[in-house]
Amino acid sequence: MTTKPKRNIYLKMKTLEDAQKLWTEKTSAFRCAVANIPAVSALGRVLAQPVIARSSVPHYHGSAMDGIAVKAHDTFGASEVHPLRLVLGKTAFAVDTGDPLPPDTDAVVMIEYVEPVGEDEVEIRSAAFPWQHVRKVGEDIVAGELLLPQHHRIRPADMGVLLAGGIQEVPVFARPRVWIQPTGTELLQASEAARAAPGQIVEFNGAILSGLVQECGGEALLQGIVGDDYETIKQELLKAVDAPTEVVLINAGSSAGSEDYTSAIIDELGTVLVHGVTMMPGKPTILGIIKGKPVVGVPGYSVSAIMAFEQFVRPLLYSLQGLSSPSFPEVEAILGRKMPSKLGLEEFVRVILGRVQGRLIAMPLQRGAGVITSLTRADGILQIPQDLEGHEVEETVRVRLLRPEEQLDQTVIMIGSHDNTIDVLANELKRLDSRLHLSSSNVGSLGGLMAIRRGQTHLAGSHLLDAETGEYNFSYIARYLKGTPLRLVQLTMRQQGLLIRPGNPKGIRGIEDLLRPEATFINRQAGSGTRILLDYCLQRQGLSSEGIRGYDQEEFTHMAVAVNVLSGRADAGMAIYASARALHLDFIPIAEECYDLVIPESSWNDPKIQLLLDIVVSSSFRNTVTELGGYDVSASGTVRGVWDGEKWS
């Protein structure tokens, strides 16, 4: 029986800067093998040696114009007053562009300046000078000169230069081959996702890492899943380093759990340079060398895996091809929310970006290392240095772009309450105009109003119930948005209620049952309209939230609440009917509420907003939303009120 290694608790973590420096020192001399490939197939490849021209271009003196080839000396004296006649075939020779010059000629007179005189003579009225309108031998390329330097990445024009210069094959660095080894007893192949049991996870990091490798010009060799067994992983790692590969990636098993063996195996077979980097996500990253081959223990959480790849594997793959790692494009933006960060950790925060009232706004997204959608939704990444405790709201920050900069002007920023119809809006917007993009941040209804007050969003989603009047949104806007003219547009009416596990095993019938000691609740965040509705219902029945188990456990979206109930973490949660229907949960109706779009006047005439409003009243949008269940779209698009900053009309 194999003895399990002792846990490694990151006692010697390195800073990101120190880890990168050490990794570069140990791997900078590594290069891929050199291969000769056809020049016509070399696009994007990197030259391992300089390329010298074998042929001159042109390799003959040729005409650069249509006209007559002449000996310049024979034309001297020609003028408007004294035109000169030349005899075709003797002192003048008809040529087209690209034709070789006839012997004893050294100039070309353009056809526009040649007048025929009879059948065998022409007349010119100005003299030619030597080599006029002539492409001389070697004018473009001279045989023996440097065509392209070593470590040059071949572009389309370069392929033309190579072929013109007589080069049929070029020596390039082979594409770096990367062995990608997923590990984890809990993993399933994607094809088996339908039979996943609790605790089993579809393996998708391999696909992500393969794509990242290919983006760097490498060849990904994705392997089958290996369970959490020390000897099995060890044998697979030995196979990987003995294979014709340049880099080995082991995904998962890099942390400090009882079945995280990667560090111990690398240490047994070679050298662990780094185990643990002060970065978040990506802290469990392992960097090592086995038999002279770089081995990287990539964390199991998907966002951590991507961050680790970008910081360590990406620069290595470019270096193996003789290239410097390309820098990421960056922009300056205004931070839309306070962003605290832990001292001593280099943090990578995913943000959405959009230009609002002439300012580029960055709004942070969910930070979890396993939240892959935080990257698919993000427009950029904010890197917070380890010596900062974060950034303040309205602070100017530099953000690395995940989308082309020109797209930021085509982005609609929506901040506030979450609703499933926002995804429908985003899809319809993209369908109608592929340039446009809706980026949303779920911070709750009140958070959306605050973003409008600070000029950080084009619009907000809100469903704030006034407990005294029973109205939605009006009083809150009057309280918090004085001096900010806007319009309130109904997006939809929707059913809110309690989400219960199928069959209602705890026998929950209403709000009052949430106070039973055996019932566990999952709440929405403070400031959200759903939280306010729950508190209103409790107050109306004379109930206290102190007796609810889980009242302090918060989620930011209706679907997150639904997932908590479905997984068994909670027996009930307050959310919209559409989220219950999506996950086949039972639903107890509590209230019908109005979900509105709050649109400041500064955004109202923006063509992107007008297109969004056209979508809201379209049959396509209404039909799709109706199919979600629990929505009434009969009044969608109605302007419910105009706020001039002081009063409603």
Q: Are 206 and 306 part of one and the same domain?
A: yes
The string of pLDDT tens digits covering residues 591-611 is 999 999 999 999 999 999 999
Residue 77 belongs to what domain range? Answer: 62-135
Note whether residue 226 is domain-resident.
yes
Q: What is the mean pLDDT of the chain?
A: 93
23-63 tens-digit pLDDT: 999 999 999 999 999 999 999 999 999 999 999 999 999 99
Helix (H) or strand (E) holding 201: strand 201-202
Name the pLDDT band for 368 (thresholds 50, 70, 90). Answer: low
How many CB atoms sit inside 10 A of residue 80's CB? 7
Averaged pLDDT for residues 122-140: 95
- Mark whether 77 and 42 lie in a shared domain: no
Rg (Cα) of the chain, in Å, rounded? 35
CATH of the domain at 275: 3.40.980.10
* Model confidence pLDDT, tens digit, residues 292-335: 999 999 999 999 999 999 999 999 999 999 999 999 999 999 99
CB atoms within 10 A of CB 635: 13
* Residue 541, pLDDT above cutoff 70: yes
d(CA 249, CA 180): 5
Residue at which a domain ends, from 320, 340, 356: 320
Residue 620 resides in a domain = yes
Torsion of CA 368, 461, 559, 372, to 10 degrees: -30
Check if the beta carbon of residue 445 is closer than 8 Å to that of residue 463. Answer: yes
Provide the pLDDT for residue 5. 54
Q: Which of 135, 156, 190 is at the close of a domain? A: 135
pLDDT of the residue at 1: 40
pLDDT at 10 over 70: no
**pLDDT tens sequence across 416-471:** 998 989 999 999 999 999 999 999 888 889 999 999 999 999 999 999 999 889 89
Domain count, the chain: 4
Q: What is the pTM of this model?
A: 0.82
Within 13 A of 646's CA, how many CA atoms are on the CB side? 0
Q: How many CB atoms lie within 10 A of CB 257?
A: 13
Q: What is the mean pLDDT of residues 159-165?
A: 96
Taking the chain, what is the end-to-end CA distance rounded to the nearest angstrom?
A: 79
Q: What CATH code is carried by the domain that includes residue 153?
A: 3.90.105.10
Let me know: does 159 contact 42? Beta carbons within 8 Å: yes
Q: Is the pLDDT of residue 512 over 80?
A: yes
User: Which H or E element spans position 578?
Assistant: helix 577-582
**Amino acid identity for residue 631 in this structure:** Y
At position 538, the amino acid (one-letter code) is: L
Please indicate, yes or no, if residue 406 is contained in any of the structural domains: no
pLDDT at 2: 46
Identify whether residues 194 and 224 lie together within a single domain.
yes
Question: Is residue 196 very low, low, confident or very high in pLDDT (cuts 50, 70, 90)?
Answer: confident
pLDDT of 69 over the 90 cut: yes
Q: What is the mean pLDDT of residues 494-520?
A: 95
CATH of the domain at 635: 3.40.190.10
Instruction: Measure the CA–CA gap between 86 and 122, rounded to whole angstroms.
Output: 5
The answer to whether 69 and 63 are in contact (CB under 8 A) is yes
Residues 94 and 239 in one domain: no
